[in-house]
Amino acid sequence: MNILLLGSGGREHALAWKLSRSSSLESLFIAPGNAGTKNLGKNLPIDPNDFDAVKEAVLDNNINMVVVGPEAPLVNGIADYFENDAELKAVSVIGPNKTAAQLEGSKDFAKEFMKRHNIPTAKYQSFTKDTLKEGLEFLEGMKAPYVLKADGLAAGKGVLIIDDLATAKKELSNMLVDDKFGNASSKVVIEEFLDGIEMSVFVLTDGDGFKVFPDAKDYKRIGEGDTGLNTGGMGAISPVPFAEGGFSDKVYNQVIIPTIKGLKRDEIEYKGFIFLGLISVNGDPYVIEYNCRLGDPETEVVLPRLKSDLIDLFEGVATSTLSERDIEFDPRTAATVMMVSGGYPEAYEKGKPIYGLNGVTDSVVFHAGTKADGPAVTTAGGRVLAVTSFGKDIPSALAISYENAEKIEFEGAYYRKDIGHDLL
C-alpha cells in the first residue's frame, strides 16, 4: 500500500508513526509534513488544499490511499474531487465527502442534524444578517453566559462565550453585519451554555459499520488551571477516568448509535473519523461539536493506544468491511504534554533550534510545528512538540512526559505543568 497523508501537525506525525508500523505499508508520503514525519516517509511540499497538486502527487507516486488529517480539505470537498475524477476514482480517501464534512463545516447543519435525530445537545437557534433583530431579542430571553458560534470554519476561533448581554449583542452584530469571521459568520448559532466537563471520542466508520476509539481529554487554555487564551490544545490524556462505565454507555447509546443511524437515514455516506466533542452535565453526555477528523493533541494519546493495524482498519473503511476487522487497545494510560513557542497563542517567533531530542527515553515525541534544517530541527509553529508517554495511571504517564520535556530545549519553550490534574 502506498499512502499519501495530508497535513503537517502532531496529529499527522502520530498518524504517520502508526501507519509506518503496519506490514502492509510500502511507501508513505506526507504533504507537507514536518521534521518528524520526514523520518517516516517522504515529505512533499504540497498544500493539502491544492487538489490539483495532490492529484499530481498521487499519480506520480502510485498512491492507493489518501489519509486526510485536517478538516479544511474535507470541508472543501477533496473526497468528492477524487470520486469525480476518472484517474483518481480507484484511490481511496480516508475522510468524509463534502456533504458529510458539513458536520464540522457548518454548526447550523450539525445542530439541525442533532435535533432531527434526538442527539443530546444545547438548545439553540440560528440567525443571519436578515434576522439580526430576532437574534438580539433571542439573546434577551437567554441567561448568561451567552454562547455565539460562527456557522463556518474559523480556525478554532469562531466560538465566543460572553458574560454580559450588551457585549453579546454587540458581538452578534459584529459577526453577522461586520463579518467578524468573514463568510464563516454570515450565519450564527446562539446556544444555551452547558456547564460540565469536556472530553472527546473518535469513531471510525465506513458508513455502516463503525469502531469506537478510546476517549480522551484535551487542555485548551494556555495557562495552568485552565486560564488564559484558547489554544489548539496543550496536552491530552486517554482514557478519561470519569467516562468509564456509565457515561461511556450513555455516549454509545445516546450519541454514537443515533449519529451513525442518522447519517444513514439522511443518506449521507460517511467514510472516516467522526470526532465527538462532548460535555458531561451531571453525568449525562451532550454534543458540543462534531468534527470530521481526528483531534489534535488527542490523536497523540489515542493512536499510541491502538494495538491493531491502522491500515487494516482504513482498508475496512475503503471497502466497506470495517465491521469484519478487529480492534484492540492498550489498557494503559497515555499522556501527552505539548511544548509551545513563547508568546503562543499570540504572536511568536519561529526558527528556533531545538536541542535535546536525542536524549528522550521512554516517550514518543510527536512533532507538531517543526522544520528540518539540514540535520538540525527548528521550531516552525506555535505548538512545537507533543511528548507522549504511557503509565499505569495518569501520574506515572505524566511523570515520564515531564521528565523528557525537561530535556528538550528551545528558546521560549513553554508547557503546562498541570495536564491531567483535574482528573485525579
Residue 368 CA to residue 330 CA, distance in Å, equals 24
Nearer residue to ligand AMP within complex by CB, 80 or 198: 198
Size of the site for ligand AMP (CB under 6 A): 12
Q: With b meaning 16 or more CB within 10 Å and e meaning fewer, what string describes 137-172?
A: ebbeebeeebbbbbbbbbeeebbbebeeeeebbebb
Please choose which of ligand AMP, ligand GLY, none residue 215 contacts, taking the beta carbon within 5 to 8 angstroms, the exact cut-off set by kind: none
Please choose which of ligand GLY, ligand AMP, none residue 300 contacts, taking the beta carbon within 5 to 8 angstroms, the exact cut-off set by kind: none
- 10 near ligand GLY (CB under 6 A): no
Residue 113 CA to residue 105 CA, distance in Å, equals 13
- 154 near ligand AMP (CB under 6 A): no
Please choose which of ligand AMP, ligand GLY, none residue 108 contacts, taking the beta carbon within 5 to 8 angstroms, the exact cut-off set by kind: none
Burial group, residue 53, by CB count within 10 angstroms (0-12, 13-18, 19+): middle
Which of 416, 400, 408, 422 is CA-nearest to residue 379?
A: 408
- 122 near ligand AMP (CB under 6 A): yes
- 388 near ligand GLY (CB under 6 A): no
Q: With b meaning 16 or more CB within 10 Å and e meaning fewer, what string describes 248-279?
A: bebbeebbbebbbebbeeeebbbbbbbbbbbb
Sign of the C-alpha dihedral computed for residues 179, 183, 187 and 190 taken in this order: negative
Q: Which segment (221-229, 294-302, 339-347, 370-378) binds ligand GLY by CB under 6 A?
A: 294-302
Question: Could you say which of 15, 100, 263, 288 contacts ligand AMP (CB under 6 A)?
Answer: 288
Please choose which of ligand GLY, ligand AMP, none residue 69 contacts, taking the beta carbon within 5 to 8 angstroms, the exact cut-off set by kind: none
Question: Could you say which of 37, 291, 336, 379 contacts ligand GLY (CB under 6 A)?
Answer: 291
Task: Show contacts with ligand GLY in window 177-236 (CB under 6 A).
Answer: 218, 233
Question: Could you say which of 1, 53, 132, 159 contacts ligand AMP (CB under 6 A)?
Answer: 159
Are 196 and 183 spatial neighbours (Cβ–Cβ below 8 Å)? Answer: no
CB of 114 to ligand AMP, least distance (A): 12
Which of 413, 406, 418 is CA-nearest to residue 369?
A: 413
Question: Could you say which of 50, 140, 193, 265 contacts ligand AMP (CB under 6 A)?
Answer: 193
CB of 412 to ligand AMP, least distance (A): 26
What DSSP string runs through 126-172? EEEGGGHHHHHHHHHTSPSSEEEEESS--TT--EEEESSHHHHHHHH
Q: Which segment (72-80, 189-197, 290-298, 397-405) binds ligand GLY by CB under 6 A?
A: 290-298
- 345 near ligand AMP (CB under 6 A): no
Which of 125, 94, 82 is CA-nearest to residue 12?
A: 94
Cis peptide before 145 (omega within 30 of 0): yes
Q: Which segment (120-128, 221-229, 257-265, 289-297) binds ligand GLY by CB under 6 A?
A: 289-297
Nearer residue to ligand GLY within complex by CB, 83 or 224: 224
Question: Could you say which of 71, 151, 215, 289 contacts ligand AMP (CB under 6 A)?
Answer: 289
Please choose which of ligand GLY, ligand AMP, none residue 88 contacts, taking the beta carbon within 5 to 8 angstroms, the exact cut-off set by kind: none
Task: Provide the residue count of the chain.
Answer: 424
Residue 341 CA to residue 347 CA, distance in Å, equals 9
Residue 258 CA to residue 295 CA, distance in Å, equals 21
Sign of the C-alpha dihedral computed for residues 110, 215, 346 and 15 taken in this order: negative
Question: Could you say which of 171, 206, 296, 315 contacts ligand GLY (CB under 6 A)?
Answer: 296
- 147 near ligand AMP (CB under 6 A): yes
- 277 near ligand AMP (CB under 6 A): yes
Binding site for ligand GLY (CB under 6 A): 218, 233, 291, 295-296, 298
Binding site for ligand AMP (CB under 6 A): 122, 147, 149, 159, 161, 191, 193-194, 198, 277, 288-289
